[in-house]
């Protein structure tokens, strides 16, 4: 039963990653792509971490995975902010 | 069964790296291609020691692992030095390729 | 078609696809980014092959540090000549393609032959596993690195230091500006730094201690330390400086010195060179190595003689 839940979580997480990647490839500009990447990918990561925690079975593994997810979240937040900021500055410079 | 898949993959990456090394004019591209070849060789080194699911007392052979680890560190050292040389060369001469005729251009 | 085969096929296809993207034209930056992705895919391959030490090492050093170094060099190139950033078209060459195909074929033949060979059960790897309890360690790879083939590891540390010295010799007296941070104060980065740096140090020490019995070790821990160094440099908390302080130089050679001490001490006691020391000694030497490796890699990234702290 637990394996089934884990599998479902992992597959859903994978689906979100797929959605994020399609967004990366198909959306028109930097800001839209950032949306796709940060939102879909982080949600996908959370689902994958949940699935792995269920599969792993121990509290220690679950805590490790939670920490990994939080760190990835922080990193992608700041990176997205920096990319958007840089992109804006670039656009402003080119607009002059 | 599965080791063959990895061997073919490693061979393909080696070939791709070699191709990249030969056609690239820019030195940094050559470095990237060289690093690809290095990774492929490491993969082969591990595969040659033992198929997946190693059999010495149920553990993978530790000796190639240590050698490859050393190799990774050496590769990064060499790459770092090569990058410094490349930047210096570029700063000094304004050329990004060793042979100006073969530099990539649009 | 078993699930394992499917996974391996997908992994190999991903590796080959990423390698192709690295080599194609369309700009240096793209090539570097795809190379980092390739390094991470290699880490997955190592994990799939059951060697977590290598997965950690390739992710941290092969993808992370190498990628950072390449991006730093790319940045310097662009500062010298902005045209470097533009996409280029790589020339086609049927001769190169033929050579590459032949090489790939040769490598495939070699690989397929060697995996089919009979393995000698008494070979060195087996002996390592048998004699591992002598070292007091649980991780055979660490045992090989620090004890059984310690000489190789010592020289590896020297190579790393030599690369730094070589890079310094080549760039000293250069007019290439080393400007790590943009100078703006970004509050988000400051808070990220405040959370991430202590965690990074924790992870590095954890990898070091865990490496004695499980996956991990001094090199992976050193690379994680270097990651912290890179973050500090990029956010402006550490600033490249033109002079290396005595403390810095001491830290750079500490790893090699500690290792040599561990190697020579048994001689003075009457045992042989590099006779197995205790686990505590090994961990202490690995800690020194971690410091030196982290510092060396950080200095390779900054391209300067030293770094100094800039009060935020």
Q: In this complex, which of C70, C115, C140 lies closest to B62 when CB atoms are compared?
A: C140
Q: In this complex, which of C188, C196, C199 lies closest to A81 when CB atoms are compared?
A: C188
For chain C, what are the domain ranges? 1-86, 135-312
| C149–chain B Cβ distance below 8 A for any pair | yes
ipTM, two decimals, is 0.89
Taking only residues 34 to 93 of chain A, the set having a beta carbon closer than 8 angstroms to any beta carbon of chain C reads: 71, 74-75, 77-78, 81-82, 85
| C259–chain B Cβ distance below 8 A for any pair | no
Cα–Cα distance for residue pair B86/C286, rounded to 1 Å: 32
Q: What is the CATH number of the domain that holds B12?
A: 1.10.287.3510
Q: pTM here?
A: 0.90
Each residue's pLDDT, cut to its tens digit, for chain B (106 residues) gives 577 889 999 999 999 999 999 888 788 889 999 999 999 999 998 888 764 444 555 667 788 889 999 999 999 999 999 999 988 888 888 776 766 555 554 3
The total of structural domains in chain B comes to 1
pLDDT 10s digits, C197-240: 999 999 999 999 988 888 888 999 999 999 999 988 888 778 78
Domain limits for position A19: 2-95
pLDDT 10s digits, A55-80: 887 888 889 899 999 989 988 888 88
| B78–chain C Cβ distance below 8 A for any pair | yes
Which chains share 3+ C-beta pairs under 8 angstroms with A? C
Domain limits for position B9: 3-102
Which residues of chain C make contact with A85, given a CB cutoff of 8 A?
Answer: 186
The total of structural domains in chain A comes to 1
Cα–Cα distance for residue pair C57/B74, rounded to 1 Å: 12
Cα–Cα distance for residue pair A66/B105, rounded to 1 Å: 48
> For C200, which residue in chain A has the nearest alpha carbon?
A71
Verify whether the Cβ–Cβ distance A74 to C199 is below 8 Å: no
The answer to whether C121 and C256 have CB atoms below 8 angstroms apart is no
């Amino acid at each position: 039963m637990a394996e089934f839940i884990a599998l479902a979580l992992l597959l859903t997480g994978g689906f979100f990653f797929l959605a994020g990647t399609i967004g990366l490839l198909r959306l028109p500009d930097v800001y839209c792509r950032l949306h796709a990447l940060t939102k879909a990918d982080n949600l996908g990561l959370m689902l994958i971490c949940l699935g792995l925690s269920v599969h792993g079975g121990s509290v220690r593994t679950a805590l490790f995975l939670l920490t990994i997810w939080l760190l990835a979240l922080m990193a992608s937040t700041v990176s997205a902010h920096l990319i958007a900021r840089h992109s804006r500055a670039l656009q402003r410079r080119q607009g002059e | 069964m599965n080791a063959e898949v990895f061997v073919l993959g490693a061979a393909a990456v080696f070939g791709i790296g070699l191709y990249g090394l030969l056609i690239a004019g820019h030195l940094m591209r050559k470095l990237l291609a060289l690093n690809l070849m290095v990774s492929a060789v490491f993969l082969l080194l591990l595969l040659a020691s033992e198929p997946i699911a190693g059999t010495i007392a149920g553990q993978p052979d530790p000796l190639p692992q240590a050698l490859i680890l050393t190799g990774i560190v050496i590769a990064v050292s060499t790459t770092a030095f090569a990058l410094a040389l490349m930047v210096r060369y570029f700063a000094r001469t304004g050329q990004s390729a060793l042979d100006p005729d073969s530099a990539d251009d649009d | 078609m078993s699930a394992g085969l499917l996974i391996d096929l997908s992994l190999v296809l991903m590796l080959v696809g990423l390698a192709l993207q690295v080599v194609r034209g369309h700009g240096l930056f793209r090539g570097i980014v795809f190379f980092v992705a390739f390094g991470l895919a290699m880490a997955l391959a190592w994990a799939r092959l059951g060697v977590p030490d290598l997965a950690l090492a390739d992710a941290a050093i092969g993808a992370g540090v190498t990628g950072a170094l390449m991006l730093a060099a790319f940045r310097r190139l662009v500062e010298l000549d902005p045209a470097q950033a533009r996409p280029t078209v790589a020339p086609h060459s049927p001769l190169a393609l033929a050579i590459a195909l032949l090489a790939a074929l040769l490598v495939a033949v070699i690989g397929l032959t060697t995996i089919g060979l009979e393995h000698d059960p008494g070979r060195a790897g087996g002996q390592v596993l048998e004699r591992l309890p002598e070292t007091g360690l649980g991780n055979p790879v660490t045992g090989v690195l620090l004890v059984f083939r310690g000489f190789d590891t010592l020289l590896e540390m020297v190579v790393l230091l030599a690369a730094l010295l070589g890079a310094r010799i080549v760039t000293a007296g250069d007019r290439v500006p080393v400007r790590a941070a943009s100078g703006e104060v970004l509050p988000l980065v400051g808070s990220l730094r405040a959370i991430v740096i202590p965690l990074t140090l924790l992870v590095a020490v954890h990898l070091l201690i865990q490496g004695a019995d499980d996956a991990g070790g001094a090199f992976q821990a050193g690379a994680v330390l270097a990651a912290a160094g890179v973050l500090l440099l990029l956010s402006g908390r550490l600033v490249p400086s033109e002079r290396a302080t005595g403390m810095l130089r001491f830290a750079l050679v500490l790893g090699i010195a500690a290792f040599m001490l561990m190697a020579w001490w048994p001689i003075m006691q009457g045992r042989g060179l590099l006779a197995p020391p205790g686990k505590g000694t090994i961990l202490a030497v690995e800690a020194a190595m971690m410091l030196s490796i982290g510092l060396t890699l950080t200095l390779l990234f900054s391209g300067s003689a030293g770094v100094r702290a800039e009060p935020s």
